[in-house]
């Protein structure tokens, strides 16, 4: 591997490949972005598909390729709105004169133009066309319109083109495109200067040296939230119970076993600006831990339980070190909204993320379906329900809401 750095670790890039011989460079671009740790989802236009195949794009990206606006299956799995909402940056490479014109005009007549028009994320355009086309008044006027709207540009290079002419218009080299993308992400994020505390995973409350009381939490959602907040610029401390997950890159991670250990680690991590308590902390622990393994055949053990500390309530209590935003999680098997509202009030937190775990379908799964309950400035509870989506996408949406909260404040 030529470049083993992970400068784009965890970043999600939406790559739009339009028509033109330069589309072959997009394959190398995908490879370079993946090398640096990025996830790349691709939209292939009808023109782009004349130069590179969906199979080649999918093989390199490791993701499904999207090309049809009116595919009901795609709209259910990953609609054009979510394609951009779950990305950190949209890159159009190559950007043909035709697609640039449609973007400038605000047209939405295929998946690429519709998705980019609906985008709430920055867009980086990498033009590629004949030199005369690039120099034309029409194209330059369209580029000026896009620039005025905040669209970023990687200027085309100068040299011999596939048509045999020489001049400015050939698609920039892949290394230059990657450098511009890395430069964009090197900028301070909206949560730069903020400290965040995230809890994740289960706790294990020992009964004897080999047995414990625990739950089925995998930690996938909590770890994804920690990574998403870090991508927004926050300095994150992750306190995690026992999980089979790698530590998120660039995040201070503290490993604990029990609820009491988690409480101690959280207290040590305060003060913080943000606390997201996604861990599934055991509510009870055995009153006594046997020094030896309990044996079958002996007298039936009397199991007495005592209540564990309430970590969320401790973090959310009023005081000098209470984070400005405290987010709790509620995994419910019945009356999810009612129980979440009760928890929101009883724990004194600002937001609650609630999901229905009846049947255990959420535990260790890669998807989640949640509702966010938040108290507004007047104390009214506002709810926002999200469709089922990958846990990484839930984390990104939650991190975006956190960023919006601090921008408004």
pLDDT tens digit at each of 409 positions of the chain = 334 467 788 889 999 999 989 999 999 999 999 999 899 999 999 999 999 999 999 999 999 999 876 654 554 555 566 777 778 899 999 999 999 999 999 999 999 999 999 888 899 999 999 999 999 999 999 999 999 999 999 999 987 776 677 788 899 999 999 999 999 988 888 999 999 999 999 999 999 999 999 988 999 999 999 999 998 999 999 999 999 999 987 799 999 999 999 999 999 999 999 999 999 999 999 998 888 888 887 677 778 999 999 999 999 998 879 999 999 999 887 888 888 999 998 999 999 999 888 765 667 788 899 999 998 777 789 999 998 888 988 999 999 999 999 998 7
Q: Of 42, 163, 277, 349, which one is the catalytic site residue?
A: 163
Cα–Cα dist 15/174, whole Å: 13
Q: What is the DSSP string of 73-124?
A: HHHHHH-HHHHHHT-SEEEEEEE-HHHHHHHHHT--SSHHHHHHHT--S-EE
Residue 73 is predicted with a pLDDT of 54
Query: Which has the closest alpha carbon to 63: 15, 18, 21?
Result: 15
Query: What tokens appear for 351 in the block?
Result: 């937001």
- Give the count of beta carbons closer than 10 Å to the beta carbon of residue 366: 11
Element (H, E) at 28: helix 23-35
**Residue 266 is a catalytic residue:** no
- Give the count of beta carbons closer than 10 Å to the beta carbon of residue 148: 9
Residue 263 is predicted with a pLDDT of 97
Residue 1 is predicted with a pLDDT of 33
Cα–Cα dist 257/259, whole Å: 7
Residue 333 is predicted with a pLDDT of 77
Query: Which has the closest alpha carbon to 191: 304, 255, 254, 273?
Result: 273
3-state helix, strand, coil in the chain (%, to 5): 35, 25, 40
User: What SS3 state is found at 174?
Assistant: helix
Residue 308 is predicted with a pLDDT of 96
């Amino acid at each position: 591997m030529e470049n083993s750095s992970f400068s784009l670790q965890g970043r999600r890039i939406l790559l739009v490949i339009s028509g033109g011989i330069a589309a072959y460079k997009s394959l190398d671009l995908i490879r370079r972005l993946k090398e640096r740790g990025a996830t790349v989802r691709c939209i292939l236009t009808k023109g782009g598909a004349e130069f590179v195949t969906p199979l080649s794009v999918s093989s390199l990206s490791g993701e499904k390729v999207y090309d049809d606006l009116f595919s009901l299956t795609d709209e259910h799995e990953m609609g054009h709105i979510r394609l951009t909402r779950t990305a950190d940056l949209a890159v159009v490479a190559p950007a043909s004169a035709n697609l640039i014109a449609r973007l400038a005009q605000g047209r939405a007549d295929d998946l690429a133009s519709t998705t980019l028009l609906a985008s709430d994320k920055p867009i980086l355009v990498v033009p590629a066309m004949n030199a005369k086309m690039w120099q034309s008044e029409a194209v330059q006027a369209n580029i000026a319109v896009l620039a005025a709207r905040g669209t970023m540009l990687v200027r085309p290079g100068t040299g011999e083109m596939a048509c045999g002419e020489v001049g400015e218009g050939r698609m920039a080299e892949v290394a230059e495109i990657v450098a511009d993308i890395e430069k964009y992400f090197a900028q301070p994020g909206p949560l730069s200067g903020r400290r965040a505390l995230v809890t994740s995973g289960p706790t294990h409350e020992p009964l004897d040296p080999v047995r414990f009381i625990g739950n089925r939490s995998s930690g996938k959602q909590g770890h994804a939230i920690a990574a998403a907040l870090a991508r927004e610029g926050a300095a994150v401390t992750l306190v995690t119970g026992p999980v089979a997950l790698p530590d998120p890159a660039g995040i201070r991670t503290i490993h604990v076993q029990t609820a009491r250990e988690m409480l101690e680690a959280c207290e040590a991590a305060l003060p913080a600006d943000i606390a997201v308590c996604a861990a599934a902390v055991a509510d009870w622990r055995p009153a006594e831990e046997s020094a030896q393994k309990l044996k079958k055949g002996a007298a039936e053990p009397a199991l007495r339980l005592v209540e564990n500390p309430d970590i969320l309530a401790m973090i959310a209590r009023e005081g000098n070190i209470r984070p400005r935003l405290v987010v709790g999680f509620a995994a419910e098997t019945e009356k999810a909204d009612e129980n979440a509202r009760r928890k929101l009030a009883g724990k004194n937190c600002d937001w609650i993320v609630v999901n229905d775990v009846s049947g255990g379908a959420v535990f260790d799964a890669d998807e989640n379906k949640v509702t966010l309950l938040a108290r507004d400035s007047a104390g009214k509870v506002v709810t926002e329900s999200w469709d089922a989506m990958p846990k990484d996408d839930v984390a990104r949406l939650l991190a975006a809401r956190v960023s919006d909260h601090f921008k408004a404040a």
